[in-house]
Amino acid sequence: MKNLNVLITAGPTREYLDPVRYISNDSSGKMGFSLAAAAKKLGAEVTLVTGPVSLPTPKGVKRLDVTSAAEMKREVMKRSAGADIIVMAAAVADFRPQKFSRQKIKKQGRRARQVLNLAQNADILAELGRKKRPDQTLIGFAVETEDLEDRALKKLKEKKCDWIVANRHTVIGKDRGHAILLSKKGRRVVLPELPKDELAFIIFSHILD
């Protein structure tokens, strides 16, 4: 991966409702951080845009911390044109509270259904797919509770990815993972259960093949 610029996202995003409450996705950031460490060890220039996680920055990786999906989108889109490989491993929140209240929302005088109205966030991966140059490699993730491969294939096509890493939700937060890699050219690789650090190298070996 020498001389390649690799842009990786990791972790969840947080969508704040007021200064003390947010909605988010379950994500430790481990897979994205493992991919960033692997890409760096393979000689790439790596930028990691991460939501709130408690993980150390892999050595030599340029890290940018973000909170919301909108911030992640801004930082990713600023850097996407210069990237040879983009990996969207982040668990981006699909929805955000419609309004942010600067003051803590008090329960008194409110009905539960009045507290949370949601608006939809932009899909960063789909936007990257629309803007993708032929020389760029775009890798998405799909986390599913059922119909894993069908749904992952649908995302691969709809978001114009070159590869999608399909995962069951049971890998979230674990040190080990397993995955099925699906490519737009019809390749299908089933990876065994392994530490995420090792999986990261294997994922890149197939993608660069």
Residue 167 is a catalytic residue:
no
Sign of the dihedral defined by the CA atoms of residues 96, 97, 101, 104, in that order: negative
If one asks whether residue 58 binds ligand CTP (CB under 6 A), the answer comes out as no
Stretch that binds ligand CTP, among 47-55, 57-65, 123-131, 187-195 (CB under 6 A): 123-131
Cβ–Cβ under 8 Å, residues 25 and 13: yes
Cβ–Cβ under 8 Å, residues 88 and 140: yes
Among 22, 33, 141, 163, binds ligand CTP (CB under 6 A): 141
Among 123, 138, 177, 200, binds ligand CTP (CB under 6 A): 123
Q: CB within 8 A of 180, min separation 6: which ones?
A: 148, 149, 152, 165, 166, 188, 189, 190, 191
Note the Cα 149 to chain centre separation in Å.
18
Among 8, 35, 49, 124, binds ligand CTP (CB under 6 A): 124
Q: Which of residues 65-94 bind ligand CTP (CB under 6 A)?
A: 69, 88, 90, 92, 94
Stretch that binds ligand CTP, among 134-142, 172-180, 182-190, 191-199 (CB under 6 A): 134-142
Cβ–Cβ under 8 Å, residues 17 and 100: yes
If one asks whether residue 143 binds ligand CTP (CB under 6 A), the answer comes out as yes
Pick 143 or 182: Cβ nearer ligand CTP: 143
Closest CA to 172 of 12, 65, 57: 12
The amino acid occupying position 129 is: G
Question: From the candidates 3, 5, 25, 167, which is the catalytic residue?
Answer: 25
Among 121, 163, 177, 196, binds ligand CTP (CB under 6 A): 121
DSSP H helix total and E strand total for the chain: 6, 12
Pick 47 or 121: Cβ nearer ligand CTP: 121
Q: By the criterion CB under 6 A, which residues form the site for ligand CTP?
A: 69, 88, 90, 92, 94, 121, 123-125, 140-143, 155
Residues marked as catalytic: 25
